[in-house]
Structure 1
């Protein structure tokens, strides 16, 4: 009698049901149904691309989905197939995909799936290929009207950053004592240096800030202490953009003493308020 299978090919737009008792019988009927030349064809699982031989055929379940590949063709599996199909539609700016993704985000879904959908929706709203201001006005919001293209602004921004990068000296200097010369087009080394932006902490984290925090919070702590240490660790207040040559790895020997804490009398007054 044989078992039932659903077969398709890379050229077919649907799956066909056939009954076969062995692999050769499946190949004959499948190729005939799909209008494929029998020579050089092989059978794989539609799910993951595993090739089916005569021994494996006997382990297949009823209604198993299979794909018959012609010589030289490859199949990476069902998930890759549907993902490629979605990406193809996405490349064609299919608004229906975005609408569906937004609808799914409004439902209760697993965090991992939600994150992927959010990336998809956010990326779909970007206008990466647009170069001119009139083609992507949102990108230019807040920028001077003299910038007509994205390239104009990026050249200006990179140039300004580069000038600061070359003139700013070490953490304890107002201006750099070195004469830095970097042409990122000149050599591989210059390209690497240009892409490596060094931010140097004036008051060092491990040597000074962390130990001071530990010593300070033992007796007591108030909001001003929290703000002080936060600014040193998580803002630009304690950072300086320096050339890699000016990034001093030696001990800076700067203090990070916290502000004086509120007196007990003042705290009592505030509590009364």
Structure 2
């Protein structure tokens, strides 16, 4: 069974994910991804590290290995429980999706070059709406919390997570093998960082482009209402629909690194715009 590893270069400036069944495969893939010279440099640095003051360094290693058995070693000073720590981890991922969306939208032509800054205003309004929804759901902090309600968490009551399989599959082909419990040990918590919350409808390839299409419709006054199917010059974006696709289990599945398919997914988002009449109950009016 392949396991996921994180490998860094000698300067610790570049980090890559590698799935391998054994050390030989790990070395070969690391060489290929980092480059032969970089891998040799890393090996030389390791050799130099182990050739001096080995006795003292071994004592330090023993200290940390012993500490690794302590159930609280996974916690930072600001965290009192494992559940709090894991909730923080998922919130970090959600913030990452938000800022990825924000960066892409604010780098678009319509944001930078629109007349009178109208495109900028429309995108900023959408981002405010999206952020407010995310805040109201507390960044889905329950997803990794084993003590949360059963329907609100991805793991079981012990903290065991199971891979959801490829984005297009109903379940993991490695059933019983792609499982992990980051609550159990520090080592599993580190490996858990290589597991991905995979967007079935991809964020960069589909969701963000469709958001920009929706913004462009508002900007040009060419809106097709998704509810009444009528055309309109004024209206808004149903941010809730994009929230579901970016941040929730409606479009996310937790997957082992082996099951994280990075090619193009054959699934599309949509242009979720509403006319002014249908949009009346929303929190922000786009005009």
TM over 0.5: no
Normalised by the size of structure 1, how large is the TM-score? Answer: 0.33
Structure with bigger RCO (C-alpha 8 Å, 6+ apart): 2
Structure showing greater Rg: 1
**Normalised by the size of structure 2, how large is the TM-score?**
0.32
